[in-house]
Amino acid sequence: MALDFTAIDFETANGFRGSPCSVGLSKVRGGVVVEEASWLMRPPENHDHFEYHNTRIHGIRAEDVAGAPRFGELFPEIGAFIGGDILAAHNAAFDLGVIRSGLEVSGLPGPAYEYVCTVMLSRRCYSLVSNSLPYAAEEAGVPLVNHHDAAEDARACAGILVDIARRNNANSIAELYLSLGLAIPKQQAFQPGDGLSKQTLAALAAGGGGRFAAAGQSGVGRSAGQLGRAWSNWPEEGTNPAPNPAAEAGHPLFGQTVVFTGELAIARPEAKQRAAEMGARPESRVTGRTTVLVVGDGFVAGDLRSGRLTGKAKRVLELHSRGQQIEVLSEGEFLQMVGGH
């Protein structure tokens, strides 16, 4: 067996996963990128409005894709490039969700895909204070120059997976997952008329895309005027619900102890409930048990270097420097993981 797979990255027009406006793909054979492809596209009809936050992240505007085919029209080419490969993505729940929701609102069937998540693998195999794509890519020796260019992000994801396989002496995805004691997850095939995903149902209920937090690996859910606001209040913590015992064990939040800091776009008790639904244990302060800190107020991973941090985030950096396995997520990354708006 060889280390063969296709890495994929989507950028979206708005916070609904089913609004892809660009995709990048890197095909790997024997641990080497042998072919790449990327497309701009119009999102599915009625879900094709471009939100400020998304455009600010990836730079793509409605006029840039005005003459491009819609996602549903383009997907046969995307699917043909992928073929029967295992898909790799950095926060795979998001990118696989883009495929599912984009096809659902286009009224099209979707194929089954086995997939791997390099966020989850980065957590297991690296020791980083943030497992966002730029940090993981730097650790893998494939630093990003133009983050949120879909083709470059897919290439970085491929590099991360190749590096992690090398560090684990694995010659294939199957060998890597066997060495880590994991099963390769799979998104099942579906047909129009099958039950819709939660993200699609929420978007349809909101009326065409809805008002979701901006997507993208460093997405934020704030208005332009809020981005520079200092942390000036103490949000209501609420109770700490118990983890959902029936949650999917492969979810990146499953089994994590999660603390929230800063002002979120959603109420903190709601954020805690969503984390618990994914199998996480929410807590109210950073301790030796904490494994994930979610930071609001427009935080992005680069703030770890700039020093724009809350007291809880500074405490996380201190604990990480002492060897505690703990990481920091932006609110946008958290919302991608829980599929929330």
Instruction: Give residue-wise pLDDT tens across range 79-97.
Output: 999 999 999 999 998 999 9
Q: Which amino acid is at 176?
A: L
Q: pLDDT class for 43, splitting at 50, 70, 90?
A: very high
Neighbours of 24 (CB within 10 A): 22
| Alpha-carbon distances of 260 from 313, 316, 318, 329, rounded to whole Å | 9, 12, 17, 10
- Rounded mean pLDDT, 312-321: 83
Residue 141, exposed/middle/buried by CB under 10 A (0-12, 13-18, 19+)? Answer: exposed
Q: pLDDT class for 332, splitting at 50, 70, 90?
A: confident
Mean of pLDDT over the chain: 87
Crossing angle between the packed helical segments 198-206 and 92-105, to the nearest 10 degrees:
50
3-state SS, residue 141: coil
Tokens coding 219: 């997405």
Distance CA 315, CA 126 (A): 20
Q: Which residues contact 229 (CB under 8 A, 6 or more apart)?
A: 263, 297, 298
Whether 170 shows a pLDDT value over 60: the answer reads yes
Distance CA 167, CA 246 (A): 32
User: E-assigned strands of the chain?
Assistant: 5-12, 20-29, 32-40, 87-89, 113-117, 186-187, 257-261, 281-283, 292-295, 327-330
Tokens coding 80: 């043909």
Distance CA 23, CA 154 (A): 9
Q: Which amino acid is at 224?
A: A
Distance CA 329, CA 149 (A): 20
- Using a pLDDT cut of 90, give the percent of the chain over it: 60
Crossing angle between the packed helical segments 92-105 and 331-338, to the nearest 10 degrees:
60
- DSSP class of residue 224? G
| Alpha-carbon distances of 326 from 126, 157, 257, 320, rounded to whole Å | 11, 21, 9, 6
Whether 210 shows a pLDDT value over 50: the answer reads no
Instruction: Judge whether 326 and 320 are in contact, CB under 8 Å.
Output: yes
Strands 5-12 and 87-89: parallel
Strand order through the sheet with 281-283 = 281-283, 257-261, 292-295, 327-330
Rounded to a whole number of angstroms, the distance between the first and last alpha carbons of the chain is 41
- Using a pLDDT cut of 70, give the percent of the chain over it: 91
Q: pLDDT class for 171, splitting at 50, 70, 90?
A: very high
Q: What is the dihedral of CA 150, 156, 162, 165, to 10 degrees?
A: -100
Instruction: Give residue-wise pLDDT tens across range 248-260.
Output: 887 889 999 999 9
- Rounded mean pLDDT, 285-289: 89
